[in-house]
Structure 1
Amino acid sequence: MTDRARSRAELAERLAKKGYSPEIAERVLDRLTEVGLVNDADFAQQWVHSRHTYSGKGKRALALELRRKGIGQEDATEALAQIDSEDERARATELVEKKLRTVSADDRDRAVRRLVSMLARRGFPQGMAFEVVKEQLDRAGAETDGLFDET
């Protein structure tokens, strides 16, 4: 059918673009749903897992993506429930650790702004972003504190 799973709303939009009448599109989508080929709840679960794990998206960004894909509030809420705050924090920490390799920690304020902004763009809560960035910068500073001491 397609190169990736799609929501019912996405498929309806594609059928409309191809010139199918809304009645025909609705019947086709009903049939696909009936036989299990279209399932918004499953799509939402897969989307959230994939985008959180591989793209490093936070809950807020994922909720927005699901809404744009036409997923209902109930299915979206259920799918987002698979990410608890500990998972989200762990993913944010991984992202900051990775980004710290390319960001100079010499100017701490600038590093904080860049790292917190990166997490915000990915949909992580601001409070969590500041905490994670501070912890990782403190840890990175502790690892380099004795690096140039003369012995």
Structure 2
Amino acid sequence: MQILKIRQDKRRPKFAVVELDNNENYKVYKSVIKKYGLRKGDELNENKLNELLQWDEFYRAKDVALKYFSYRQRSEYEIQAKLTKSKFKPYIIKKVIDNLKSVGLINDLEFAECFAKNALNKRLISKNLMKKKLLEKGISKEIINNVLQKYFSNLDENAIVRKLAIKQLKKYQKLKPKSTDKEHFIRLAAFLTRRGFSWDVISRVCRGMLNINSVDEI
């Protein structure tokens, strides 16, 4: 097969169209053209064409991954899931991930630390909920343990729960002024449980705030 013409794709600046003498046209990344130094008149056999198309798929997948990074930092699992959803082949996905790791764009430890710091800065969050969220991002248990030790070991969960409970109780009292302390306790307990705090801490703090001596009174 011989290349008859290489022309710029009018709609997509990153792409060029390679026209062959067998009436086949291929739209590929210009990076592929540059990588192989392709020119009009060059001969391509099937193996070379397949190699070019594999590199084109790599650049397409990498472009999808980089755009995904534009919103925020991503874990390896998130990138893999995104590329899998975009229907890229497994070996292409692995190649992209290895490439992004080599330049430091994928680093699960940095991601987990950044995720934890941002969560703590934005809102009060429990150690258990942070663990759950990091597991959902595909972070390894070893990294999670290191991050929790670094950012959560010195946090006073009693103080955090009390602060959250006071804020939430004010909302409940405003929305439902006729509710009893027991009813407020039930709502607060459900809210704080969803945040991942332990029942012992929730029960102790909320009973103290609402003057409930025992959960048996509820």
TM-score by length of 2: 0.58
* 2:78 alignment counterpart: 10
Q: Say which SS state the counterpart of residue 123 (structure 1) adopts.
A: coil
* 2:144 alignment counterpart: 76
Corresponding residue to 1:121 among 180, 194, 198: 194
* 1:141 alignment counterpart: none
* 2:162 alignment counterpart: 93
**Alpha-carbon shift at residue 83 of structure 1 (Å):** 0.8
8 Å contact 1:96–1:115 — kept in the other structure?
A: yes
Corresponding residue to 2:182 among 106, 109, 116: 109
- CA RMSD across the alignment: 1.9
Q: Taking structure 1 as reference, are residues 112 and 70 closer, same or farther at Cα in structure 2, changes over 3 Å only?
A: same
**Alpha-carbon shift at residue 113 of structure 1 (Å):** 1.1
* 2:60 alignment counterpart: none
**Equivalent-residue separation in structure 2 for 1:49 and 1:136 (angstroms):** 29
Q: Unpaired segments of 5 or more residues in structure 2?
A: 1-68, 212-218
**Equivalent-residue separation in structure 1 for 2:197 and 2:138 (angstroms):** 22
More strand by proportion, 1 or 2?
Answer: 2
The residue type equivalent to 2:86 in the other structure is K
Q: Unpaired segments of 5 or more residues in structure 1?
A: 139-151
**Equivalent-residue separation in structure 1 for 2:123 and 2:78 (angstroms):** 21
8 Å contact 1:52–1:58 — kept in the other structure?
A: no
TM-score by length of 1: 0.81
Looking at CA atoms only, which structure, 1 or 2, has the larger radius of gyration?
A: 2
* 1:45 alignment counterpart: 113
Q: Taking structure 1 as reference, are residues 48 and 15 closer, same or farther at Cα in structure 2, changes over 3 Å only?
A: same
**Alpha-carbon shift at residue 55 of structure 1 (Å):** 3.6
The equivalences for 1:15-34 within 5 A come to 15-34=83-102
Which one is further off, 85-94 or 28-37?
Answer: 85-94
The residue type equivalent to 1:63 in the other structure is K
* 1:57 alignment counterpart: 125
Structure 1 residue 66 and structure 2 residue 134: aligned?
yes
**Alpha-carbon shift at residue 97 of structure 1 (Å):** 1.4
Which one is further off, 121-130 or 87-96?
Answer: 87-96
The residue type equivalent to 2:139 in the other structure is I
The residue type equivalent to 1:32 in the other structure is L
**Equivalent-residue separation in structure 1 for 2:135 and 2:190 (angstroms):** 23
